[in-house]
Amino acid sequence: MKIVDNISDIKSILKNVNSTIGFVPTMGALHNGHISLINRAREENEIVVVSIFVNPTQFLEGEDLDKYPRKDEADKKICKLCGVDYLFMPDINTMYEKDEIILKASKTKGFILEGYKRPGHFDGMLQIVLKLFNIVNPTNSYFGKKDAQQLSLINQMVKNLYLDTNIVECDIVRENDGLAMSSRNVYLTPSQREKALNISKSLKIAAKKIGAGQLDSDIIVDTINDILNSVDGIDVEYVVVVNREFNLIDTIELQNTIILIAVKIGTTRLIDNIWI
């Protein structure tokens, strides 16, 4: 595995590659969710590139940029063990200039739910993903479904800007107890983590109701809210039912529905979802 921190070097290396390139962009603190993306990229491509960059433009004032977990040495070992060919680890001065052209998220999808709660977050996310796509020029790019709204916006960016990479949507990876894997899980105390298990529990119960024929979105949302609100210490930000285009829907549409949850437990914000 070769570690590269310079844009011109990584572009020069990859320009001479005449085979498929699988790309996994990350912010580091790699866990089994990231590993599943890397492994799939390894299975489906001849060359695998992983990037690690904690992107400051997608953090809002007062968020956890300075505290965001950084585990560079462990991440390097994980990438090597997973058979990554090139690990791209730029710093902020490499990726950003003082006066930048800014990419804006769409006026609808970019400003609801996560976009409403974290205004400007998706602008920064799309900005860095576009930069990385232009640097790596990947055949296939791998993203997890846990960040469903992010994934939808990346798909829209690829379509709207005529980008040449194929976006591969990968299933959520969970801990043995059902908690969706996230680098922010390390912030949870043992008692907070126990409370957080109600997130996946509520989604499972909702899925069972849907499987039994309950397709009324309001009833599904009420079911989830009842479970989450019954637990002291869970602050529910939203529970919504949308289609794949992120339009709110009154009736569950099989193969075209996502149920999304965002909560705060202590100071830790968690999101989860289930694709129906």
User: 27 near 110, Cβ under 8 Å?
Assistant: no
Q: Which residue is it, tokens 């499987």? A: 211
- The tokens for 222 are 């009420």
CA dihedral 113, 257, 173, 85 (to 10 degrees): -90
Q: Which residue is it, tokens 């993306």? A: 37
Measured CA to CA, the distance from residue 7 to residue 11 in angstroms comes to: 6
DSSP class per residue in 190-240: HHHHHHHHHHHHHHHHHHHHHHTT--BHHHHHHHHHHHHHTSTTEEEEEEE
Residue from 34, 121, 146, 269 carrying the catalytic annotation: 34
**Catalytic residue check, 34:** yes
Q: Which of 121, 189, 192 is nearest to 153 (CA)?
A: 121
Question: Which sequence positions are flagged as catalytic?
Answer: 34
